[in-house]
Structure 1
Amino acid sequence: MRRYPKGYGGERRDPEQVKRDGWREQGVLVIAEDDQRLTWPERELVKQLGSKLYGKRSGKDVCHG
């Protein structure tokens, strides 16, 4: 049986689990601007924060569904 260093080989973590772990362990929050779990005002706040911190987005046709 072959052993791989942590993070190499084996099973991949679900992207939502990676986001959850990032928040809980590092205080890093990853949010898609079109996340349907958020209300409209919450999505607008995410867009405003992203624009303030990183500038306007050039491609508005990105779907994260």
Structure 2
Amino acid sequence: MKIPAPRYPSPLGRAQPIPMDIERTKRDGWQNNHLLVISSSDARLDFLEQQLIERIGNRLYGSKSKGGKIG
């Protein structure tokens, strides 16, 4: 009976990153540091909430056409 030689895992296997749970990272950021990361096009927001996010973003950082606000 022929026994195959044992295969050793590639040392490159350890270099593979562990996938990040982005929603968990956002939740932890809010709960621990009060940092909010949200897209104005998030499907969980209704129309008025999306508009509010847009207005806040534009006021703090300027619209795409105007560039960012300094100061």
Alignment TM-score > 0.5, same fold: yes
| Residue aligning to 2:41 | 34
Q: Percent identity?
A: 40
Structure with max Cα Rg: 2
Bigger relative CO (Cα 8 Å, ≥ 6 apart): 1
Gaps of 5+ in 1: 1-8, 59-65
Distance (whole Å) between structure 2 residues aligned to residue 15 and residue 40 of structure 1: 24
| Residue aligning to 2:26 | 19
> Following TM superposition, by how much is the alpha carbon of 1:11 offset from its aligned partner in structure 2, in angstroms?
2.3
How many residues were matched structurally? 50
Distance (whole Å) between structure 2 residues aligned to residue 18 and residue 34 of structure 1: 19
RMSD: 1.5
* Aligned structure 1 segments of 4 or more residues deviating by more than 3 angstroms: none
Distance (whole Å) between structure 2 residues aligned to residue 57 and residue 13 of structure 1: 29
Question: Higher mean Cα deviation, 45-54 or 10-19?
Answer: 10-19
Gaps of 5+ in 2: 1-15, 66-71
